[in-house]
Amino acid sequence: MKRRVEQRGRFITLEGGEGVGKTTNLRLIGDILARRGYDVLVTREPGGTPLAEEIREVLLARRDEQVTPLAETLLVFAARAQHVQTVIEPALADGRWVLCDRFTDSTFAYQAGGRGLAPAIVEQLAAWVHDARWPDLTLYLDAPAALGMARIADRDQDRFEGERTAFFDRVRAVYRERARSEGRVVEIDASRPLAYVSEDVAAALDLFLAGVACSA
Ligand code: T5A
């Protein structure tokens, strides 16, 4: 398919708790954009480069040693610095559309909300690592933690998935607050069957694309 000529790429992220359907719906968005002729790069956090994927393994591995919230946050941002500078920014500069499974909203939700780190630290690190680069659109998939965990019950649990329900309740509360306060975030009820969720995801994307077309 002929590549659409765009002034600049767009940055779209999927957010939400464990097992809410981020990866599944990211594929759907990628397919829709590709069908419309956009050049799409699908990536994820933590990860997206060889170094950042190694940091992801360190972060997700279950271990006896207690990981401090600050150490965890610095690891997340180390991976993000590499990812943003070597993958995300070059792709956007090249006019590509970047679809990312999680970004800094996850750090507010998990490290500030879940772990109790001061949000100001996340804000400072975000300013340092990616400055004014925020997603153009964020789709937040909302569902009770127990439902998401039930969907991934057949997988081996990583270090985060081994957390207690109260941790995920705090994560969800921060996500919902950000969905209310950040204009780029669209909240979608992900507790429903996949067909309904995907329909809302596609509708939110359509609305966003209409806005892009108007501004072109
Ligand atoms: N983390 C990450 C931080 O702490 N701070 C950070 O800054 C960042 C970036 C990464 C971990 O790192 C932490 C958070 C995470 O714990 P991850 O792999 O990116 O982990 O995130 P997970 O949420 O663990 O990814 P999952 O693959 O488990 O969840 P998804 O992607 O939300 O769910 P998905 O699409 O794989 O779907 C799970 C299953 O549910 C089904 C799917 O078919 C699949 O089988 N499903 C549905 N079933 C019924 N109804 C629906 N509506 C469904 N939607 C999907």
- pLDDT tens digits for 16-55? 999 999 999 999 999 999 999 999 999 999 999 999 999 9
pLDDT value for 46: 98
pLDDT value for 216: 74
pLDDT digits (tens, 9 = 90+) for 135-176: 999 999 999 999 999 999 998 999 998 898 999 999 999 999
Burial class (CB in 10 A: 0-12, 13-18, 19+), 93: exposed
pLDDT value for 7: 65
Which helix or strand (DSSP H or E) is residue 167 part of?
A: helix 165-181
* Ligand 1 centroid, distance to 20 Cα (angstroms): 6
∠ CA 108-112-118, nearest 5°, is: 120
Ligand 1 neighbours by CB, cut-off 6 Å = 16, 18-24, 44-46, 76, 101-102, 106-107, 110-111, 151-152, 160, 190, 193-194, 197
Strand, coil or helix: 123: helix
Percent of the chain with pLDDT over 90: 90
Sheet architecture: strand order including 97-101: 40-44, 97-101, 11-16, 137-142, 185-189
* Ligand 1 centroid, distance to 13 Cα (angstroms): 13
Indicate if the pLDDT at residue 8 is higher than 90.
no
Residue owning the nearest CA to atom 17 of ligand 1: 18
State the Cα–Cα distance between residues 11 and 33, nearest whole angstrom: 12
pLDDT value for 2: 46
Indicate if the pLDDT at residue 1 is higher than 60.
no
Average pLDDT over residues 74-102: 98
pLDDT value for 215: 83
For residue 160, the tally of other CB atoms under 10 A from its CB is: 17
Average pLDDT, the chain: 95
Q: Estimate the crossing angle of helix 194-215 against helix 22-35, to 10 degrees.
A: 40
Average pLDDT over residues 114-136: 97
Q: Output the pTM of the full model.
A: 0.96
